[in-house]
């Protein structure tokens, strides 16, 4: 996903969903979601003697606004690019009454929507001009759905990524669940049960190692598997080959 570097405090105002316009001297045809990057340039907020704000803009600005810099702090959609938008955040372009020429250099108002502020900014990210792609590998946490630098995250056995906070909470639970599954699925006669897929209707698993392929063992194995997958009364698929027993159980009778 592309990123756009924006000076503070405007970057934070956009991420908070307050500022719905980004003013630029160049027009863009891009429409879609981008990362909001707070550049290193930080302007201080002052109520008096501050030419950064109009009175309306100042009243719309929260008393406390977190203004980190050199960080990706959220996301937003670019939905349009116009001139002289009616938003209080839109800079206006003066046009001559006698011709189509502009008295000053045109200002384009990029219309923004669906802003999302990250609970934790992705720090130490250097910005660039125009649109750019972050060098940082930004990944969504499986636990909280927030985005983080992948280098700061933890991986489970399946390669899923977790932020440090979710990992501290969820890893003990996952370890316990894995132990319970392994204890439940240990079949000394037939080998190890490996769960392949589980959904509302289907339960699929593979038994490997030590399975002889004999019919008596096949039926015995099916009986054990049916007990494991209680509530899935129908056999959808059963394959026995190369000393492997592959069974798919389903609630839908075929």
Interval 146-200: pLDDT, tens:
899 888 888 887 788 888 888 888 888 777 766 666 555 554 344 445 555 566 5
The mean per-residue pLDDT over the stretch 125-134 comes to: 91
Banded model confidence at residue 213, pLDDT cuts 50, 70, 90 = very low
Mean pLDDT of the chain: 76
Of the two residues 253 and 124, the one the predictor is more confident about is 124
Q: Specify which residues 154 forms β-bridges with.
A: 162
Contacts of 239 (CB under 8 A, 6+ apart): 245, 246, 247
Report the alpha-carbon distance of residue 92 to residue 95 in Å, rounded. 10
Instruction: Report the phi/psi class of residue 25: left, alpha or beta, with left for phi > 0 and alpha for psi in -120 to 50.
Output: alpha
The mean per-residue pLDDT over the stretch 212-234 comes to: 57
**Percent of residues, the chain, with pLDDT higher than 70:** 61
Instruction: Please give the structure tokens belonging to residue 51.
Output: 């030419």
Q: Specify which residues 140 forms β-bridges with.
A: 147
The string of pLDDT tens digits covering residues 97-127 is 555 666 678 899 999 999 999 988 998 898 8
DSSP letters of 187-238?
A: ETTTEEEEEEEE-SSEEEEEEESS----HHHHHHHHHHHHHHTTT--EEEEE
Contact 89, 52 (CB under 8 A): no
pLDDT at 254: 46
Count H helices and E strands in the chain, helices first: 4, 15
243: pLDDT strictly greater than 60 = no
SS3 188: coil
Instruction: Give the range among 57-66, 115-124, 192-201, 229-238 with minimum mean pLDDT.
Output: 192-201
Contact 230, 246 (CB under 8 A): no
Contact 149, 163 (CB under 8 A): no
For residue 242, give the DSSP letter: T
Contacts of 56 (CB under 8 A, 6+ apart): 88
Report the alpha-carbon distance of residue 149 to residue 138 in Å, rounded. 5
Report the alpha-carbon distance of residue 128 to residue 109 in Å, rounded. 20
The mean per-residue pLDDT over the stretch 30-51 comes to: 75
pLDDT at 219: 57
Cis, peptide link before residue 9, omega less than 30° from 0: yes
Contact 203, 248 (CB under 8 A): yes
Count other Cβ atoms within 10 Å, centred on residue 128: 14
Report the alpha-carbon distance of residue 223 to residue 45 in Å, rounded. 71
**Percent of residues, the chain, with pLDDT higher than 90:** 29
Count other Cβ atoms within 10 Å, centred on residue 147: 21
Report the alpha-carbon distance of residue 174 to residue 213 in Å, rounded. 33
pLDDT at 165: 87
Residue carrying the six token digits 């000076």? 7
């Amino acid at each position: 996903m592309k990123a756009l570097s924006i000076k503070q405090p405007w970057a934070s105002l956009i991420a908070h969903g307050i500022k719905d316009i980004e003013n630029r001297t160049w027009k863009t045809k891009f429409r879609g979601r981008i990362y909001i990057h707070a550049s290193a340039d930080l302007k201080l907020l002052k109520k008096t003697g501050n030419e950064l704000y109009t009175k309306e803009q100042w009243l719309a600005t929260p008393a406390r606004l977190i203004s980190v810099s050199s960080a990706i702090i959220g996301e937003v959609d670019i939905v349009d690019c116009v001139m002289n938008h009616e938003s209080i955040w839109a800079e206006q372009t003066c046009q001559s009454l006698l011709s189509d020429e502009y008295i000053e250099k045109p200002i384009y108002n990029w219309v923004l929507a669906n802003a999302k502020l990250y609970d934790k900014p992705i720090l130490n990210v250097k910005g660039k001009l125009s649109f750019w792609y972050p060098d940082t590998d930004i990944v969504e946490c499986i636990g909280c759905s927030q985005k983080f630098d992948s280098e700061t995250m933890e991986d489970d056995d399946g390669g899923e990524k977790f932020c440090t906070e979710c990992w501290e909470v969820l890893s003990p639970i996952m370890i316990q669940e894995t132990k319970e599954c392994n204890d439940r699925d240990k079949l000394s006669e037939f080998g190890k049960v490996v769960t392949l897929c589980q959904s509302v209707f289907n339960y699929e698993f593979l038994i490997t190692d030590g399975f002889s392929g004999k019919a008596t063992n096949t039926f015995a194995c099916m009986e054990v598997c049916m007990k494991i997958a209680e509530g899935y009364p129908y056999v959808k698929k059963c394959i026995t080959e190369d000393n492997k027993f592959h069974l798919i159980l389903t609630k839908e009778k075929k």
